[in-house]
Structure 1
Amino acid sequence: MAASQDELAEAAGDEKQSGVVNDEPEVSRSDAKTSDGGIILIPQPSSDSRDPLNWSVSKKATIVATLFLAMFVGFSAPFCGQLNLQQQAALYGKTTVQITYFNSAASAGLATGGYFWWPLSSKFGRSSVIFWTLFGQLAAQIWAPMMTRPDQYAPYLVSRYFSAFFGVTVSVLGPRYLVDMFFLHQRGRAFTVLHLALNFGASAGPTFAGFVAANAYWPVEYWWSVALTGFTIIIVFLFLEETSYDRSEGAANRILPNSWIRDRFETFFLGTKVAPPTTWSHTLKIAITPFKIAVAPVLLIIAGFDTISFGFYVALNALTPVWLQLPVKAGGIYGFSVTQNAAFTFVHWIGLIVGFAYGHFFSDRIPLWLVARNKEGVWKPEYRLHALWPTNFILMPLGLGLVGCAMQYRLHWFVMALAQFFITIGSLVSIPVTVNYICECFRTHTVEAALVLNSMRLFLGLSINFYINPWIAAVGVGWVYGMMAFFSVFAFMFLIALMIWGHTIRKITPFSTAMSEEGQHVVTKGPEDDRF
């Protein structure tokens, strides 16, 4: 069988040291295949029905929906116990802030799991790895509610680590499915849909668990997640398909079996049937690739932005239950019950809906509008980043500032709700845009790039629980969140630097792993085109 695209790209990278090249051949606008709206299809699809670019809309939607469900489970399961803090604190003899350390354990699992699953996916196939890691998460979700003795605090935290360690798989491998199935001008919406599951899972998991266990003992909040994970395993087996396809001339792509059962068996049980044969030594070499990409300046800049913007969102979700549920007699402001806290989390749901609508309508239109107005009508990956101006330069800092005001001046809970609404919108929009941008910067190494970005952006959220109290003691709770607001504005400066000097920064990439679609003609008309 022919070498995989990643192998071919890596070999090509050894010969080309310019740092930024197109991995798809340039096609003249007169000869190129276009969409019904006159947008040039990038990459150009083959005439083979096995090519994922040629699959029907319904088939692509089914696969995205399956990935959505699996990612939702992956991010909701580790955070199920986020609201029921008082019972666990009493059981384990810990403070409520110490109970929130399980959020850090989960974040550590999310940050590290991908480095293990990505190399295995190159040997056994992405779909197979997603399928079997769901079984690992199922075991972790059964493990957690069994930890009901006072001396089982540490094992409980370990269960949260492994739930996230197994659950992160789709967020790492999922972007490659989208790049395989969708054209350049469609990816913004596709990434928005898939990454909605990430934020929605992290928000809905605590909501469901809070209502389930509001009037019961805390372990019951995990069993709905166990059932959903089992259901997801069935859905993945029925509908998820491998999207690997080599469009190079003479490539030997997989011949699909006539039997649906045989196809399922080959996809999930015989990984080498859907993945190019490879040795364990080459798998180890693949495992090293993310560390090469990790030193690329463009990735470090995006990771710096994501670490601050998404890290503060993770920290906010982890700590808000502490602030809301702290009894008034103990110095708290709101004194919410678990049920009230669960109802409060619907603010995140509303923010997710608004953020999803914004991403759906503007994440592709804004960059295409910019393409249509440049001199040559060609693509630049940095056009993606302009969609973040209203959400992350305005709403995100404003929301963090409002949290600080609400805490400092003991304002009505509605102010806190409005603040979290703004922050949720900023978080939801920023993740798919930045992941999409990085995947387009490293077009032939999308999984490795997504993996590194995913792990880096979790560092702040992983650690903040351990130093939040000293930080509050030093400057006061109001200025803690006020400083976060200023830091988020500072983080946006990273994006502005890319918007201005992105082409130059992408060229400064060691190991020749940066391949983008920059310079490709996207529109058939010139700057006067007003379709976008």
Structure 2
Amino acid sequence: MAAPHQQHVAVASEPADVVGDEKQTLEASVVNNEDLAPSESAVGTKSEVPKTSDGGIILIPQPSSDPCDPLNWSNSKKATIVATLFLAMFVGFSAPFCGQLNIQQQAALYGKTVVQITYFNSAASAGLATGGYFWWPLSHKFGRSSVIFWTLFGQLAAQIWAPLMTKPDQYAPYLVSRYFSAFFGVTVGVLGPRYLVDMYFLHQRGRAFTVLHLALNFGASAGPTFAGFVAANNYWPVEYWWSVGLTGFAIIIVFLFLEETSYDRTTEGAVNRTKPDSWINDRVETFFPGSKVTPPTTWAHTLKLSITPFKIGIAPVLLIIAGFDTISFGFYVALNALTPVWLQLPARAGGIYGFNVTQNAAFTFIHWIGFIVGLVYGHYFSDRIPLWLAKRNKGVWKPEYRLHALWPTNFILMPLGLGLVGCAMQYRLHWFVMALAQFFVTIGSLVSIPVTVNYICECFRTHTTEATLVLNSMRLFLGLSINFYINDWIAAVGVGWVYGMQAFFSIVAYMFLVALMIWGHKIREITPFRTSESEEGQHVLAKGPEDHGF
């Protein structure tokens, strides 16, 4: 039996951090990969015929012959890991926003206005924007899975902290608890995409990214929904205790099922960890200090790695995507943060709807419907649309093909939704108009995040985590700040035009994507990293374009 720390040599075809090789090095048949067509992999010699899926799609990257290669893992094992990451991300993004609906009680306790109470959304957004810069370098030292596991304990402590802040002078500590809940909770949002890139082929990633990032939007919405029903007829601190239990449950699930997906595929032969036969030894190696699942590194090198995201942050392609995400996702975050204010504002104070907490919680189910529609759309079109475009390009791939999936959701539905919010507020329309508007905005937000994150990961193949980290931070800036100036904005132009302007801004933001669709290759070349890190130019279709239907 191999010692727990023993490593083995696996002949493979790629650098350690690259999951996509432009030389298309071909290996022996994959072990236990259900997506392979045996007849295809058996034809010709290894240097002549690439391995393909049953549908004739070339597998990018080409998997090695090692069963420990995450690309060769069974679909059930991959799905288990994605489900575990989904739960951890759901907890990470739902916990910071638990108190979003019961704002009247908190305003009375702390002697603040309801808008000032919503500042906790900004504190949470600040935690989401900054946490990754701390956790990403540590993942190189201790492994991604270990960092995810231990940060859940930090979030558990923050969730216990918040409901204990029940004195009038504890408003500031309450906001700080929301910051740290998000600071610890953002970990999967930053580290999770790399798991998907490690386990899934190019033509599968769109669906995988859609499923994982559903947890982000769903968590930010479902957290307030659950908390609203729990605390509807109770004092507000009770709304936090259900998330304490869920966080504890997530810790157990992560310990039981999450695995490290790092795999070295260097051309000279890679040294990879051999899992011990004992399950408990494997868990200890994965989650406890000792660097058994990552190459040994020094603290000096870890500190040096922390600079990399700032280098990537100046890349024009990332700045353009971040500009789009900042506006589209930022307006969604702002809408979520402020909608409880608009819905619960009493008629005597100029409100329109006068919802109570229970009614507000029920209203948030419209987001759930939007998530379902967005998930279905992403599942069926996030991969099919770029593959169809590749078919028209004689089977040659371009990362920008990913962005075309956003035309119906972000060029049409999101601006329409924001405009309807403005109309509902300006002309005091029925709450159903507000619900329809939020339905459209939710779909646009849910679809845009996995598509843009996937695109950036494909642009920076050797630095996917760093690029994701920067994108995650930048897209939160608008949602973080809007609560502080929304009243002045409304006073200047009126609430209808506030959201009307947001609708026009979202259309302008989409023009950023159109620029990438047209000049993406040239823009990607103006980066501190090589354009060849992307998968542009690779053939994704094994046969002639006329033989594929999408």
Structure 1 counterpart of 2:543: 525
Deviation, structure 1 residue 510:
1.9
* 1:335 correspondence with 2:354: yes
* 1:26 correspondence with 2:24: yes
Structure 2 counterpart of 1:313: 332
Q: Does the 8 A contact of 2:422 with 2:496 survive in 1?
A: yes
Structure 1 counterpart of 2:4: none
Q: Distance in 2 between matches of 1:254 and 1:42?
A: 23
* 1:284 correspondence with 2:303: yes
Structure 1 counterpart of 2:251: 233
Q: Does the 8 A contact of 1:74 with 1:167 survive in 2?
A: yes
Structure 2 counterpart of 1:102: 120
Structure 2 counterpart of 1:74: 92
Structure 1 counterpart of 2:504: 486
**Unmatched segments (≥5 aa) in structure 2:** 1-6, 27-46
TM-score with structure 1 setting the length:
0.95
Q: Distance in 2 between matches of 1:370 and 1:27?
A: 25
> What letter is aligned with 1:526?
G
**Deviations 1:26-60 (CA, angstroms, capped at 9, x unpaired):** 35995100011111000000110100000000000
- Give the SS at the match of 1:252: strand
Question: 1:323-472, aligned counterparts within 5 Å?
Answer: 323-375=342-394, 377-472=395-490
Which structure would you say has the larger RCO, counting Cα contacts within 8 Å and 6 or more residues apart?
Answer: 1
Deviation, structure 1 residue 373:
1.3
* 1:55 correspondence with 2:73: yes
* 1:294 correspondence with 2:313: yes
Q: Distance in 1 between matches of 2:102 and 2:329?
A: 23
Q: Cα RMSD between the aligned structures? A: 1.8
Structure 1 counterpart of 2:159: 141
**Deviations 1:352-390 (CA, angstroms, capped at 9, x unpaired):** 000000000000000011111113x11100000000000
Question: 1:121-140, aligned counterparts within 5 Å?
Answer: 121-140=139-158
Structure 2 counterpart of 1:167: 185
> What letter is aligned with 2:294?
A
Distance 1:9 1:514, change over 3 A: farther
In the alignment of these two chains, the number of paired residues is 520
Deviation, structure 1 residue 2:
11
Deviation, structure 1 residue 117:
0.1
Q: Does the 8 A contact of 1:293 with 1:513 survive in 2?
A: no
Q: Distance in 1 between matches of 2:59 and 2:215?
A: 27
Q: Does the 8 A contact of 1:506 with 1:514 survive in 2?
A: no
Deviation, structure 1 residue 270:
3.1
> What letter is aligned with 1:25?
K
**Deviations 1:222-275 (CA, angstroms, capped at 9, x unpaired):** 000000000000000000000000112311100110100000000001351001
Structure 2 counterpart of 1:18: none
Residue from 131, 134, 151 that aligns with 2:169: 151
Q: Distance in 2 between matches of 1:478 and 1:43?
A: 49
Q: Does the 8 A contact of 1:70 with 1:170 survive in 2?
A: yes
Deviation, structure 1 residue 25:
2.2
> What letter is aligned with 1:352?
F
Identity %: 86
Q: Distance in 1 between matches of 2:85 and 2:232?
A: 30
**Unmatched segments (≥5 aa) in structure 1:** 13-20
Deviation, structure 1 residue 9:
7.7
**Deviations 1:487-507 (CA, angstroms, capped at 9, x unpaired):** 000000000000000000000
Deviation, structure 1 residue 530:
3.5
Q: Distance in 2 between matches of 1:190 and 1:360?
A: 8
**Deviations 1:377-428 (CA, angstroms, capped at 9, x unpaired):** 1110000000000000000000000000000000000000000000000000
Q: Does the 8 A contact of 2:524 with 2:531 survive in 1?
A: no
Q: Distance in 2 between matches of 1:156 and 1:326?
A: 23
Q: Distance in 2 between matches of 1:24 and 1:126?
A: 26
Distance 1:195 1:151, change over 3 A: same
Structure 1 counterpart of 2:265: 247
Q: Distance in 2 between matches of 1:348 and 1:240?
A: 29
Q: Distance in 2 between matches of 1:379 and 1:421?
A: 33
Structure 2 counterpart of 1:17: none
Q: Distance in 2 between matches of 1:299 and 1:419?
A: 29
- Give the SS at the match of 1:201: helix
TM-score with structure 2 setting the length:
0.92
Deviation, structure 1 residue 514:
6.9
